[in-house]
Structure 1
Amino acid sequence: MGRLRFSSSLLIFAGAAVFSAGLAASCSATGKQGTLNLSGGDDTGAGEGGAAGGPDGLGGIINIDGGQEQPDDVTVNPCGSACGRKELCTGAYLGLDDDCDGRIDEECPCVPGQAHSCFRGDPSFRNSPGCFPGSQLCDETGTWGPCVGGVHADESCYVNSSAACHPLQSPPFADVDLKEGTGIFSADAVPGSERWAVACPEGIDPCPAVSGTGPADDFTPLQSGEYTVTYTKRLANGETGSCKYPLFVGAGGLRVELEWEHDFGVVDLDLHVHKPNNTQPWKTTGAAADCGWANCTIKQFGAASGVRWFSDSATPPDPVNWFLDPVDSKNNCFFAPRGVGEAWRDNDMGCHNPRLDLDNVRCDASVTDPDDEEFCAPENINIDFPPKSRWIRIGVHYYGHGGVLDDIHPRVKIFCNSALGADLGPTGFYSPEQAVAFAPADVLDRFWLVADVLFPEPDECGQETCVVQPIYLDAETKTPLLTTKDDVETNFGPAYPPLP
């Protein structure tokens, strides 16, 4: 069965947010058409705040139960519209402008490389149609950066109409009909004159081209994040018109994506996710507690030989081994490239948790068609319904370099219910900060213990979030834990952090 052309207006992801440049839909046209601005405001990153001190001991756990408290005579409702006297750093308050000063979490400590969703303006509109949180990344000083991307209340997102150019949503891997984002703005386009261009989020390279093998308005995002779509048209009078709108790509639960350079030659890194709250050793060629290329793909699950971490009889949102959603578009594994999606669908059991959708052994960095077998897609591991209050550990193995004599720089993005929870590798390590690197001599031996991830119970406003704790060899210098294959196959690694 072929890939589904996804109608992006049908699916809503709670808390869709990513760390990338973003904007509300805006349109313009030359000549008699004038200029139509649908953004309702600017996108200058109003969340940028002052410096804040880091937690006690870099690399420590964020205290999501503590933080700053309001005086007894101040009432703040994080689910509604009230303003307080101070910025708060706990639970549902995180990522909001609690004191209404135009800055978000400027007084809240964080661990470098962590990220969370953020929303400017009245928080009661956070989940309203047309409104999308942005994302904040913690910098090397332990300070939350600006709120980037998203469509916010201070931009009047709640009155943005879908009639003209407007945001779209999609799960990873699905073919998106970009024309749906143009609304009536495209109605007067001269036939054959319409063009779409898409800018990918930071770190996605190569960026898929629009319409590899399908219609001219088809786009297939293989990675999570906020994309920027630019639409242009020609009018009957010869003039042109254009608009821009965001495309939010994300999936529910835990999704871990691994990227690295592909323009040096054949380099093979392998993503691994460890069984929650389990301390058995890892196994780079497959073990019951280690989800990776050898035991966590459709090849093993189709043969009923893959890992089994959860219940066969549970019902989501509780963790479950297999789940076939009655809404076809919510079975994200069905859209995986290189024939993997069709194999999941033909297996007739839905998607497995956990699973490795794609093991990227080799690719061609010059290919931009995401449907091409040689396109450099990211490795990704998913748990659609992760357990609550259990740590999940992430690792990366340097499997092979094909004779490449350059350092390789892995990048791990951790997404929790489609929101970016951490961006680690280029950020998050060393003091002063520098990228994590695998040297040529590390091949077959180097194993990076990246981070631990935990999904707490939903906060008081029903928001789903996660806590990501980078793993350090030395917390003071934020040195990454770059160990060896032999070491992790005999020792799990450092103990899990205490529960926050």
Structure 2
Amino acid sequence: EELVNECGTCDDESCVDCEFFVPGWSDTERCGDGQDNDGNGQADEGCDCSFGSTQACFLGAPNSRRIGACLDGSQTCIDRDAPYWGPCEGGVLPSEEVCDGKDNDCNGCVDDTTCDIALTCPVEDTITPLREYALDGSLVFAETDRVSSWRWNVVAPDDSGTTGPADPNAMRTTFYVDVSGDYRIQLELVIDGETFECEWILHA
């Protein structure tokens, strides 16, 4: 039997897979995979590395890595005298499933929840630095007459001087991308009195 909601469909098999998703944690850390295997919030801790080298890393459940909305971060080998892997920074970890057309909890199933309103949130986007990036709320939710408020926020790289969206409360606005790096785009909108959130990464 096929189960249907406004956000999509799933058959019995895929729904069971979502319900019984296995995170994949282990009791010990495995070196060389950039993964937090033992769930202690560190990737490849205690593992040898070459000073100054970098690798992709992920702090979420191993079986969620590169699934759905989840993206790798990066870490650098630090301390020249006694090299070790530094903190895993950036990336996107599993989050609570919301009705936005994405697999937020990274279990391999999109919108596997009861959905009344469907958003269309990008997973990621790219841009060349030193130009304006357009933010358009109507691309996230087309029925704009049902939206009572918009609120944009941009979390920029540490070395950025951007001031964020020109008008953070407008449906359409822009912000200036001044340096290379990852910008976290966040939109909060109120639809029919209920608050929804959308977030994606802009790579510059």
TM bucket (normalised to shorter chain) is 0.5 to 0.7
Please say if residues 137 and 172 of structure 2, whose CA atoms lie closer than 8 Å, have aligned partners that are also in contact.
Answer: no
Q: 1:223 to 1:167 in 2, by over 3 A?
A: farther
One of 127, 152, 158 as aligned partner of 1:172: 127
Residue 89 of structure 1 is matched in structure 2 by: 31
* Aligned counterparts, 1:214-225, within 5 A: 216-219=172-175, 221=177, 223-225=179-181
Please say if residues 160 and 166 of structure 1, whose CA atoms lie closer than 8 Å, have aligned partners that are also in contact.
Answer: no
Please say if residues 121 and 154 of structure 1, whose CA atoms lie closer than 8 Å, have aligned partners that are also in contact.
Answer: no
Q: CA shift at 1:89, angstroms?
A: 2.6
Residue 99 of structure 2 is matched in structure 1 by: none
Please say if residues 35 and 57 of structure 2, whose CA atoms lie closer than 8 Å, have aligned partners that are also in contact.
Answer: yes
Please say if residues 138 and 144 of structure 2, whose CA atoms lie closer than 8 Å, have aligned partners that are also in contact.
Answer: no
C-alpha separation in 1, matches of 2:106 and 2:43: 18
Residue 188 of structure 1 is matched in structure 2 by: 146
Q: Can you list the C-alpha shifts for 1:138-178, whole angstroms capped at 9, x where unaligned?
A: 44463323333322358623456493474542222274445
Q: 1:200 to 1:185 in 2, by over 3 A?
A: farther
Q: 1:208 to 1:115 in 2, by over 3 A?
A: farther
Moved over 6 A (4+): 184-187, 234-237
Matched length:
161
Q: CA shift at 1:108, angstroms?
A: 1.5
SS at match of 2:84: coil
Residue 93 (structure 2) pairs with residue 152 (structure 1): yes
C-alpha separation in 2, matches of 1:231 and 1:154: 16
Q: 1:236 to 1:103 in 2, by over 3 A?
A: closer
Q: Which runs of 5+ in 1 are unaligned?
A: 1-79, 251-500
Amino acid at match of 2:197: C
Higher RCO (CA 8 Å, separation ≥ 6 residues): 1
Q: Which has the larger radius of gyration?
A: 1
SS at match of 1:198: strand
Q: 1:157 to 1:216 in 2, by over 3 A?
A: same
Q: 1:234 to 1:101 in 2, by over 3 A?
A: closer
C-alpha separation in 1, matches of 2:95 and 2:86: 18
Residue 197 (structure 2) pairs with residue 243 (structure 1): yes
Residue 425 of structure 1 is matched in structure 2 by: none
Q: Can you list the C-alpha shifts for 1:276-305, whole angstroms capped at 9, x where unaligned?
A: xxxxxxxxxxxxxxxxxxxxxxxxxxxxxx
Q: CA shift at 1:233, angstroms?
A: 4.7
Q: 1:246 to 1:232 in 2, by over 3 A?
A: same
Please say if residues 96 and 105 of structure 1, whose CA atoms lie closer than 8 Å, have aligned partners that are also in contact.
Answer: yes
C-alpha separation in 2, matches of 1:183 and 1:113: 43
Q: 1:107 to 1:136 in 2, by over 3 A?
A: same
Please say if residues 163 and 184 of structure 1, whose CA atoms lie closer than 8 Å, have aligned partners that are also in contact.
Answer: no
Q: 1:234 to 1:104 in 2, by over 3 A?
A: closer
Amino acid at match of 1:201: P
Q: CA shift at 1:96, angstroms?
A: 1.0
C-alpha separation in 2, matches of 1:99 and 1:235: 40
Please say if residues 120 and 153 of structure 1, whose CA atoms lie closer than 8 Å, have aligned partners that are also in contact.
Answer: no
Q: 1:207 to 1:185 in 2, by over 3 A?
A: farther
Please say if residues 25 and 62 of structure 2, whose CA atoms lie closer than 8 Å, have aligned partners that are also in contact.
Answer: no
* Aligned counterparts, 1:101-120, within 5 A: 101-111=40-50, 113-120=52-59
Residue 355 of structure 1 is matched in structure 2 by: none
C-alpha separation in 1, matches of 2:124 and 2:40: 30
C-alpha separation in 1, matches of 2:39 and 2:151: 40
Q: Can you list the C-alpha shifts for 1:357-392, whole angstroms capped at 9, x where unaligned?
A: xxxxxxxxxxxxxxxxxxxxxxxxxxxxxxxxxxxx
Please say if residues 172 and 222 of structure 1, whose CA atoms lie closer than 8 Å, have aligned partners that are also in contact.
Answer: no
* Aligned counterparts, 1:441-480, within 5 A: none
Which is richer in strand? Answer: 2
SS at match of 1:103: coil
C-alpha RMSD over aligned residues: 4.2
SS at match of 2:31: coil
Q: 1:152 to 1:211 in 2, by over 3 A?
A: same
Identity %: 25
